Amino acid sequence: MVKRTQGLPLNTIILAIIAIVVLVFLVLIFTGGIGKFTGQTGQITPSSNQTSSAQCSEYALSIQTQMGTSTDSSAQLQLLAHSQFVSSNCSIYFQYSFSLYNNSQVLCGLGSGKCIILSGSSSCNSCQPPDCIPGCELK
């Protein structure tokens, strides 16, 4: 006597898996969960704390050109402090090195823990431009 077993065909199992995946995506779409997922995996857009690398590079080259016209290192630092490179927070997040007239180097992009306090400024606790240059260090 031959025993016959009942089982699910392979096609039925594959269709069930596809149906479950589709249902999960539908739930994510209708509950707003897909927006959170795409927001985390999407391209980083510039915000008040982040500027695109290309834009920061453009600001850095522009201020480096302006600084090259001065022969006074403190005037060069003032130019940097008043530049778009600093006001756009590129000085905090975008690594770049500026050369001063006295052969000193200003290293930027070192994070919010670093700060150059400009002469004439009594204190720079919050490290806000134009009295300070946040994210940079003088070498």
Asked if residue 82 is part of any domain, the answer here is yes
Asked if residue 89 is part of any domain, the answer here is yes
Q: How many domains does the structure of the chain reveal?
A: 1
Asked if residue 9 is part of any domain, the answer here is no
Asked if residue 114 is part of any domain, the answer here is yes
Burial class (CB in 10 A: 0-12, 13-18, 19+), 20: exposed
In this structure, the number of other CB atoms found within 10 A of the CB of residue 64 comes to: 18
pTM (predicted TM-score) = 0.57
Which domain range does residue 82 map to? 55-138
Confidence band of 42 (pLDDT split at 50, 70, 90): very low
Asked if residue 86 is part of any domain, the answer here is yes
Q: Is the pLDDT of residue 49 over 50?
A: no
Q: Where are the beta strands (DSSP E) in 7-52?
A: none
Asked if residue 61 is part of any domain, the answer here is yes
Q: Is the pLDDT of residue 43 over 70?
A: no
Residues 106-126 have pLDDT tens digits of 888 888 888 888 876 555 567
Asked if residue 39 is part of any domain, the answer here is no
Asked if residue 88 is part of any domain, the answer here is yes
| Residue 11 host element (H or E) | helix 10-31
